Structure 1
């Protein structure tokens, strides 16, 4: 099979703008799905939906390890002489997706009863099928990012988001209830099929091969997937972790889950969507790894400070007016949750730098350490709101330290 031409070049401002625009659309669509679900379901029902939303976020977040490894491999391939063994990332993505779906379905009797309080069989089936499709989705994103095909990268993101909101809107209009929002959660996992059908550039990217064997690719991807899975627990799968450490969440849990989701989305949705940009940037700046972190980290802190103030002042009113009188949260809580989102955003940045430096093991250890610390803090005998803030604010500090130490030890190359 003939490889498509890859032209990495520098990560330009226009590429960031294009991905940023796609991210904005994706974020709005995500908010729209949450809004429709919260308006259509009472807090206890939204809690059930929120756990499934988090479960798919956890599983699909782990699949972002394929995006990270694929981006790095394609990005570095331009500096490697042709020849030797080659690997097809898309075929690996398909294989990993099918294996993951089989693992979810096969092990579901052991854990589904503890995670899904309602619509259990449908939840397991959608989780397995959705993850299989999303593995190919993230691999294709990595191929597009590695080749600087940012317009198609953004289009694939938007296709995912629009499919989700379309199904959610249908569920709201036709009264499908909880099941409709479960379908909406995974609907975007087939967006890559639409892109392959309609975009020649995307088809060319799907034919790309990277240097090395499948085993070599999988070793690197394995660390990235493990770390991305750990990051997904804190970023998207937190409702599942909260349920596992709290038992029945009830209406109060639904409010906390919605508050956590809304306060972190403005920072973490763009950062997650721009993983390809970040890794490409850090690969290009590998001679100054730590210095390359300064500007994006400063931007996160400044934007986060504005977000903390806005959440504390306007958050309670916005939550009540947008989602109904049943969703009540204190401004202090919303401000602290936004501060916790800043810490996770900084951990996401240091993790992307570690991946770009081929420090997959340190990347994984950092995220796993942060997740374990957060889980331990959630077990503290405190109120639900307090331990949620403590876990999300303090857990990431350990992971950031691991990443920075590892980056400081590696000589520039």
Structure 2
């Protein structure tokens, strides 16, 4: 890809369309995989598969911090020369991720993977290594504003996974093969996009930081990404742990409604994190205005959707699931409101990161996740406890971000 071709999507305003389109395709593929696998395995195998899938994407969520820092640091120039540093950055994180997975596996894997522990942990380590390179290449593509390349990476990863998992289940290859079919596409997608766009990245990519600085800054972005994963990907797991002795039917209803209602607001904004970093970074004088305008728009939409959820939510869930999952109507409004507040964090966060405020970025997500987890242990009944956790965490996070963004910037790490 040439510099001119890479810039075309930016001039035509197509960057957002490329990213949202690719996110919709990839998200749809993910739902297809998760809906289809239970039809080809027994219940015990499905439990293991779902846990494996959850852990893979919790690791992916943490490693997405690599992409955020790579995006912030990357620029497009005629000289290039930045890929060597970014490649070493990816190798270091790939090695760290593999070691962490292997070193911690014996603490939890035998309980969930049983006799398949060794091959599935190995597959998880391969997924972590592959995604480290997906994150680095994606960050470079975002930084140089190659929107087609960004969309291609997103769709390639999901598309290859659909093919590999589909082949594994149709051939009856078993749970281990399915696990590897989930894990390997990260590496295959990174290789495919590198073969297509690698020459353009090498020739145009420049970084505003050396390797030690990237590593130091990434401690904040990866830490924030882990906290994000705890609040979003890990939320059903947290509810299961903290509410295991409560009403099982209520817990199931909460998890279902949270899954169905939060995704439309949260997932697109999560997918736009690197795009927003670039947008804020390249128009620093407009950051506060854009945060205010976009945040107000999101909150306005959240109010409308929360009101609709009170009326429509219980009816839709009853229609789809025959009354097996029931919540009070106001709970739907609270859950949708929590999604909007979490989405607001996904706007204020990139604004902080784009300005080099890594500590502020990390502090907000850590505060939000800590309040969420702590609220789940409050000595109150299950429903108000869960709703408090859903709402209080993002409120605290947004307050931390907003307070920091209103203060004059002291240093790049402020």
Instruction: Bin the TM-score by the shorter chain.
Output: 0.7 to 0.9
The alpha carbon displacement at 1:212 in A equals 3.5
Match of 2:70 in 1: 70
Distance 1:334 1:49 in 2: 29
> What SS does the corresponding residue of 2:74 show, helix, strand or coil?
helix
Label 1:408 to 1:196 Cα distance change in 2 as closer, same or farther (>3 A). same
- How many angstroms does 1:356 deviate by? 0.3
Aligned pair 1:127/2:118, yes or no? no
Alignment partners' CA distance in 2, 1:54 and 1:356: 29
Larger radius of gyration: 2
Give the secondary-structure state (helix, strand or coil) at the position aligned to 1:148. Answer: coil
Give the whole-Å Cα distance in 2 for the aligned partners of 1:300 and 1:43: 40
Structure 1 residue 225, shift from structure 2 partner? 0.8
Deviation of residue 21 (structure 1)?
1.0
- Long gaps (5+) in structure 2: none
Closer, same or farther: CA 338–280 of 1 in aligned 2, 3 Å: same
> 206-215 vs 231-240, which deviates more?
206-215
Deviates more, 1:234-243 or 1:361-370: 234-243
Shift of residue 100, structure 1, vs aligned partner: 0.8
What's 2:259 paired with? Answer: 261
SS in 1 for 2:342: helix
- Between the two proteins, the alignment pairs up a number of residues equal to 405
Counterparts of 2:186 and 2:200 in 1: how far apart (Å)? 20
Could you tell me which residue of structure 2 aligns to residue 151 of structure 1?
148
Secondary structure of 1:367's counterpart equals: helix
Residues 1:138 and 2:145 are matched in the alignment? no
CA gap of 1:393–1:90, structure 2 versus 1, over 3 A, is same
Is 2:15 the partner of 1:15? yes
2:106 aligned residue: 109
Give me the whole-angstrom Cα distance separating, in 1, the residues matched to 2:176 and 2:314.
Answer: 29
| Matched residue, 1:214 | 211
Equivalent position of 2:289 in the other structure? 291
In structure 1, the gaps of 5 or more residues are none
Q: How does 1:118-267 map to 2 (within 5 A)?
A: 119-170=116-167, 173=170, 182-183=179-180, 185-190=182-187, 191-197=189-195, 199=196, 201-205=197-201, 208-246=205-243, 252=249, 256-267=254-265
Residues 287 and 87 of structure 1: CA distance in aligned 2, closer, same or farther (over 3 Å) = farther
8 Å contact 1:71–1:145 — kept in the other structure? yes
Query: C-alpha separation between the residues in 1 aligned to 2:262 and 2:221?
Result: 22
Distance 1:288 1:257 in 2: 38
When structure 1 is superposed on structure 2, of 149-158 and 241-250 the one drifting more is: 241-250
Equivalent pair of 2:310/2:332 in contact (CA under 8 Å): yes
Cα distance in 1 for partners of 2:131, 2:28 equals 20
Q: Match for residue 29 of structure 1?
A: 29
Aligned alpha-carbon RMSD (Å): 3.7
Single out whichever of 155-164 and 222-231 deviates more from structure 2.
155-164
* Conservation of the 8 A alpha-carbon contact between 2:364 and 2:397: yes
Q: Which structure 2 residues correspond to residues 29-68 of structure 1 after superposition, within 5 A?
A: 29-37=29-37, 49-68=49-68
Aligned partners of 2:85 and 2:210 also within 8 Å: no
| Inter-CA distance 396–49: structure 2 relative to 1 (3 Å threshold) | farther
Q: Please give the secondary structure, in 1, of the residue aligned with 2:138.
A: helix
Stretch of structure 1 that moved more, 205-214 or 114-123: 114-123
Indicate conservation of the 8 Å contact 2:74/2:140, yes or no: yes
The answer to which of 330-339 and 262-271 deviates more is 330-339
Instruction: Give the alignment of 1:358-397 within 5 angstroms.
Output: 358-397=356-395
Kindly indicate whether the alpha-carbon contact (under 8 Å) linking 1:10 and 1:281 is maintained by their aligned counterparts in 2: no
Residue in structure 1 matched with residue 337 of structure 2 by the alignment:
339
Pick closer, same or farther for the CA change 1:31–1:262 going to 2, 3 Å. farther
1:10 CA displacement: 6.3
Of the two structures, which has the highest relative contact order with CA contacts closer than 8 Å and spacing of 6 or more?
A: 1
Shift of 1:335: 3.9
Offset from partner CA, 1:93-143 (integer Å, 9 cap, x none): 122112211111112222435666895444433322211111110111110
Contact 1:351–1:363 (8 Å) recurs in 2: yes
The change in CA–CA distance for 1:250 and 1:116 in structure 2 (over 3 A counts) is: farther
TM-score by length of 2: 0.83
Secondary structure of the 2:396 match is helix
Question: So what's the TM-score if we normalise by structure 1?
Answer: 0.83
